[in-house]
Amino acid sequence: MFAETFLEALAAGLFLGCIYGLMCVGLGLIFGVMRVINFAQGDFLMLGMYFNLYVVSVWGLLAFLGPAAAPFVGAILAGPALFVGGYLLHRLLIARVSGTSVSGSEDEGRSAQLILTLGVALALENGALILFGSTPQSARTTLALRAWEIPLLYDPTAAVFINKASVVACVLSLVIASALYFLINRSRLGKTLRAAADNPAAATYMGIDVDRAHRIAFGIGTGVTAVAGGLVATYHPFQPYVGLDYVIIMYAGVVMGGMGSILGAFWGGLTIGLVQQLSTLVLPTQLQNAAIFAVFLLVVLMRPQGLFGRAAERI
Amino acid sequence: MAGRGGLLFPLAAIAIMALGWLALGLAVGNSYYQLMMTLVPIWAVLGLSWNLLSGYTGLVSFGHASFFGLGAYTVTILLVRFDLTPWFGIPLAMLVGVAAALVIGYPTFRLRGHYFALAMLAYPLALLYVFEWLGYQEVPLPMKREAPAWYMQFNDYHVYMALAVGLLVAALLISLAVERSRFGRSLLAIKQNEPAAEAAGIDTLKWKMRAITLSGAVAAAAGGLYAVVLLVVTPDSVFGVLTSAQALVVTLFGGTGTLWGPVIGAVILIPLSETLQAELGNVIPGIQGVVYGIAIILVILLAPEGIFWRVRDWLHLARGAPGAADRSAAAAPRAVVPVSAERQTSPNILLEVSGLSKSFGGLRALDGIAFQVEEGAILGIIGPNGAGKTTLFNLLNGFLKPNGGDVVFAGQTLVGLKPNRICRLGVGRTFQVVRAFQRMSVLENVVVGAYVRAATEDEAFEIAREAVARVGLSPRLEALASALSNKELRLMELARALAGRPRLLLMDEPLAGLAAAEVEEMLAAVRALPSSGTTVVIIEHTMRAMMRLAERFVVLNHGRVLAVGGPREVTADAGVVEAYLGSKWTALHARG
Amino acid sequence: MLAVEGLTVAYGGLKALSQVSLAVGDGQFVTIVGPNGAGKTTLFKAISGTVPTEAGRIRYEERDLLAMPAAERAHLGIAHVPEGRQVFASMTVLENLEMGAYPAAGRRQWARNLERVMALFPVLAERRDQLAGTLSGGEQQMLAIGRGLASAPRLLMLDEPSMGLAPAVADLIFERIGELHREDRLTILLVEQRVAEAVQSCDFGYVLETGRVVLTGSSEALLKDDRIRTVYLGM
């Protein structure tokens, strides 16, 4: 009996963890690589969810794909849409408190970023409340109602049930996270973005337009997180304030994974998914989030460079 | 921050504000507005509590809801479970706040910058879920009809308002006392430059711990009163992210690092958001948050330090900027006031460095450095870029720990001591980059350095005045640091170090960026130091000036001592010439 | 090729450069020497556009450089090898070189330039997949120069390539710089503290002290001039 619950929690943790990993990768690009604090990251996740909902259910633009596949395609399309959103947000607001405009100032604009994006977060989530209402909704795929039954080898009477939607969402997360990993590590664009984040002055000497690179990286970060949001929406209900729950998870994941590493951010998110789900085996359900924060605090205090980070850094 | 300036003005302002608020409250009959007028002071108190820690030290706490929520739940649970009146409950809540601050502060102060902010964010959220799990989802405070006043329950909302204003006055007085004392100035020094504060003899961890415990107590009191006023507590309302955000938003909006900031912020923002919620909340839910968010965005873009500072600067400008006019009236060095004129006649070794080594990773930055400094000397440490000069200073004043070797100062080893201890023993330091409190006067900037030698505020200011006189900056005593020229800033930095009455002063490039005439003034100020009891070790790149300043030199190159001697000896030394001008230069000129 | 006229740069009230003029002809090797704090790095930053200028003009191949955004200047064929190397520490050696080849010219001649850089500094070939932050100081300097060369520059600006390096390594670097000038006919503007090495290989030199040009002359004239010693050592 315990084996079944354990395996189910493990599977749930892995599948959820992959989506968390994808969200963290998006934030990892913004916070980990570019060192910009974006408190509104959770709200881009939320916007990704609503984007998916509207494109699929409300406007029915993807009806031709069928009720099973459409929500997944909607989730992916949230990426480009919120890339544009993030790009514009950076151009209009974030650029004034980050990058070259604040280099050399006392805290590199960090408290200004924190407060500014807190303002953006409040405006976005309450704006969403005005536009979309407070009723929890979901862009559910029909796969969310189906599960695979996997019999356990040693005990033919027992089986583990695995939700099909969460498996598809997990696979898509892995694919997108790997694509982003290759984009950042292998492509010319990705290298340009990394160079601009690593040493803005030297990047300028190479002829790189550092401000533009920062805008693009910010847009990619928000876009990727929005896709993760869209994927969560395929089997989970949500409301406009949902971003607050996730933003903490994302920061915890990025810091745990080690700042500056895309791969680390993914592992960080995955770890959080596992901790959250496995903690239900020993702790009451209400405490699963408390467990995440406890683990997060332990990691930050004991190993500020992150579980998977290599450079010892505590800034 | 009008200096030591009279307390009369702020005290009068606090009294007028409190009485005005109460008078306005009495005039308001509508109970909804009365509630709002009670909540404004409570949020202002939470803002003041946040300001005590984050406003003055610059360490952004995103988790003040921990203290607020623990305060609220302490009062509630004591009343519900033990029938204990909030009159006792609130003081006990403050103790809980202090305990939480100690538990949170010690581990978390090891972190800096955004790690600190994020870690702080995690505490209230963890507490939120713990309280939910404990079954405190929604705890109403029981009505006590038999003795309402004993249980802090009143039919007349004006009493709550008076309590809230009373708490606000208390919090303002605490903030005022902090701001006007070494407590507040030590915290500001930490905000400005933590290592420099440590080097000026300020025990930074101790002051930060004091700040967070005081802050925790004040926030817990605010939380306790909040529970009493609203009569119901939920984890979300007291531990939620928005509660932490409220503390920081009212302060940043109004102005950080001043006691008026949180008050201004709360007075503007709370009624704004509550009114919006009440008027439009049913028609357009969320309009409150949108307006709130946009207000925050605008403030950050237009007045990043908050409304108070923006208005204050604007008033200063309107009055005709002081300082800009008298910038030319720079002072020439004055007669020097001897501090401890007990100079020995026989040379006495004050500092002895032996076998000092330091590696970073595999790289040997310093290797077996040895030299001595006689009391009353001016020793120059020179060498090309990357020779290890600043690393040497960092080892001498305790920023870094050596891998080997010893530093003996006045018969005592300095290795392993914290920078503030080393400063206390009599080793001062100035830095290459001068960071000043722009909005504070020269005297206030310098006094930070004097606390290490002073028992009282008055004594500290006396020592600071003396130090300012020593560098010849007395005519600019009351000028704001923002109005100083580059040279005056350097002299102020020197005065700040001298205010700690060091027997040995380590100066890191005091001439950097000075024009030729200014260099002369700086040289005069430094030359006068030994006669008044301060031995000087100085790093400088401007060799020409150094040759006229120091009697002895230690030349470093690639982390080793290349030569030791007087100006003529070292400039004639082939190794030194080679280090500066390249090996080929020596070869060419030896031939020619 | 490059002409700086009456350049003045000030930071917060203090003049880092005042009325500096200098010229670099096509194919020339020009050196600027001077002690620390003389304003050499500021001059380079003004040419690259990362500090604002107060007065004066900078012309490059008949174009007004000051009218151009900093990032566009690299695309004109100016490679700036900054003080303190400033390699992209979190990227590999090869990636650093690829970033050097960001301008179109660098991309077109990538294969040839890469080969040339690897021939000049074989150690970079050995470490091509290593993170730049883990290289030694000398290797990082080689990488910084290689990164500059990867852009297929017409003007190579080097800021204190010998800083913090052991003498043998510094000598090797100077040798390679000389080679680039002689064999590749590259125009070079070099800023250095180590006078003899820098002046010896140049066509023309300028001595900077506290933001002003105090001496100019050919290589031979400067090498004989003992006033340089006074500028550096004060006596």
In chain A, which residues have their Cβ closer than 8 Å to the Cβ of B122? 248, 252, 293, 296-297, 300
Q: In what order do the strands lie in the sheet with B560-565?
A: B427-430, B504-508, B535-539, B378-382, B552-557, B560-565
Give this prediction's pTM. Answer: 0.85
Interface mutation vs chain C, best among A186, A194, A199, A205, most C CBs within 10 Å: A205
Residue C49 vs residues B87, B412, B471, C67: alpha-carbon distances, Å: 65, 51, 38, 10
- Would you state the pLDDT for residue B590? 59
Contact in structure between B154 and B89 (CB atoms under 8 Å): no
Of A116, A129, A293, the CB nearest to B300: A116
Cα separations in angstroms, A84 against A216, A223, B505, C76: 9, 8, 56, 31
Cα A10 from Cα A274, distance rounded (Å): 7
Which chain A residues have a beta carbon less than 8 Å from that of B234? none
- When CB atoms are compared, the residue of B115, B129, B304 closest to A314 is B115
Decide which of C91 and B592 is more confident.
C91
Distance CA B57, CA B186 (A): 9
Does the distance separating the beta carbons of C234 and B567 come in below 8 Å? yes
Among B535, B507, B539, B527, residue whose Cα is nearest residue B381? B539
pLDDT of residue B543: 76
Write the burial class of residue B346 (CB in 10 Å: 0-12 exposed, 13-18 middle, 19+ buried): exposed
Cα C70 to chain center, whole Å? Answer: 16
Please report which helix (H) or strand (E) contains residue B372, including its range: strand B363-374
- Scanning the structure block, which residue is given the tokens 């988790």? B63
A192-231 confidence digits (pLDDT tens): 999 999 999 999 999 999 999 999 999 999 999 999 999 9
Q: Is there a contact between B561 and B379 (Cβ–Cβ < 8 Å)?
A: no
Q: Does C233 contact chain B (CB < 8 Å)?
A: yes
Sequence-distant (≥ 6) Cβ neighbours of residue B182 within 8 angstroms: B451, B457, B460
Q: Which two tokens stand for residue B402?
A: 């050596």
Query: Rounded to whole angstroms, how far apart are CA atoms B429 and A46?
Result: 52
State the complex-level ipTM.
Answer: 0.92
Of chain A residues 270-299, which have a CB less than 8 A from chain C?
none
| CA nearest neighbour of B193 among B61, B58, B62 | B58
* Residue B335 to chain C, least CA–CA distance (Å): 28
Q: Least CB-CB distance to B114: which of A110, A126, A301?
A: A110
Give the pLDDT of residue C197: 81
Interface contact A248, partner B, CB < 8 A: yes
Structure tokens given for A179: 């694509």
Quickly count: other Cβ atoms within 10 Å of residue B418's Cβ. 14
CA torsion sign for A259, A265, A269, A272 is: negative
Neighbour-count burial of B257, counting CB atoms closer than 10 A to its CB (0-12 exposed, 13-18 middle, 19+ buried): buried
How far is A302 from B460, CA to CA, in rounded Å?
A: 39
State whether residue B110 sits within 8 Å of chain C by CB.
no
pLDDT classification of A315: cutoffs 50, 70, 90: very low
What lies within 8 Å, CB to CB, of B520 at 6+ separation is: none
- Interface with A, mutate which of B188, B248, B290 (most A CBs under 10 A): B290
Average pLDDT on C20-30 reads 93
Q: What percent of chain C has pLDDT over 70?
A: 98
Residue to test with chain A: of C65, C81, C90, C145, most A Cβ within 10 A = C90
Q: Write out chain C residues lying below 8 Å of A201, CB-based.
A: 50, 82, 86
CA distance C73 to B314: 40
**Residue B283 C-alpha, separation from nearest chain A C-alpha, in angstroms:** 9
Q: Where are the alpha helices (DSSP H) in chain A?
A: 2-27, 41-53, 66-92, 110-132, 164-186, 188-198, 200-205, 210-233, 242-257, 262-282, 288-302
d(CA B316, CA B367): 53
- pLDDT per residue as tens digits for the range B432-467: 877 788 778 899 889 989 998 888 889 999 999 999
Which of A33-37, B436-440, B485-489, C65-69 has the least mean pLDDT?
B436-440
Which percentage of chain A shows pLDDT scores above 70? 94
Question: What are the distances in angstroms from CA B260 to CA B48, B54, B214, B313?
Answer: 9, 15, 18, 15
Here the tokens at position B216 are 């925790």
Euclidean distance between CA atoms B31 and B299, whole angstroms: 31
Element (H, E) at B140: strand B139-140
- Count, residues in chain C: 235
> By the 8 A CB rule, do A202 and C90 touch?
no
What pLDDT sits at residue C65? 93
pLDDT reported for residue B585: 74
The distance of A123 to chain B (nearest Cα, Å) reads 4
* Rounded-to-integer distance, Cα B484 and Cα B323, Å: 7
Query: Residue A106: which pLDDT band, with cuts at 50, 70 and 90?
Result: low
Mean pLDDT of A10-28: 94
C234 and B546 within 8 Å at the Cβ level: the answer is yes
Q: Is the distance from CB of A257 to CB of A266 less than 8 angstroms?
A: yes
Residues B531 and A215: their CA atoms lie apart, in Å, by: 58
Helix (H) or strand (E) holding B459: helix B457-470
The tokens describing B499, both together, are: 């205010």
pLDDT of residue A312: 34
User: What is the pLDDT confidence band of residue A104, given thresholds at 50, 70 and 90?
Assistant: low
Q: Considering only alpha carbons, which residue of chain A is nearest residue C85?
A: A202
Could you tell me which chains touch chain B, where touching means 3 or more CB pairs under 8 A?
Answer: A, C
Residue, of A76 and A98, whose pLDDT is higher: A76
- Phi, psi for C99 (deg, rounded to 5): -65, -35
B174, amino acid identity:
I
Residue of chain A whose Cα is closest to the Cα of B126: A290
* Cα separation, B406 vs B401, whole angstroms: 10
Contacts of B285 in chain A (CB under 8 A): 129-130, 134
Six-digit token string for B109: 């102060």
Please, which residues bridge with residue C209 across strands? C212
Classify strands C155-159 and C78-81 as parallel, antiparallel or unpaired. parallel
Lookup result for tokens 């596949």: A69
Contacts of B545 in chain C (CB under 8 A): 234
Q: Give CA–CA dist A109/A99, Å, rounded.
A: 9
> How far separated are the first and last CA of chain C, in Å rounded?
36
Q: What is the pLDDT of residue B342?
A: 45
pLDDT digit string, tens, across residues B351-377: 999 999 998 876 788 999 999 999 999
Which residue, chain included where needed, has tokens 């200098």?
A: C22
Q: SS3 for A154?
A: coil
Low-confidence ranges of chain B (pLDDT < 50): 1-4, 321-345, 591-592
* DSSP character at residue B327: G
pLDDT score recorded for residue B332 = 41
CA dihedral over C135, C136, C138, C144, signed as positive or negative: positive
Residue A296 confidence (pLDDT) above 90: no
pLDDT reported for residue B329: 39
**Mean predicted confidence (pLDDT) in A120-124:** 92
Helix, strand, coil content of chain C in percent (nearest 5): 45, 25, 30
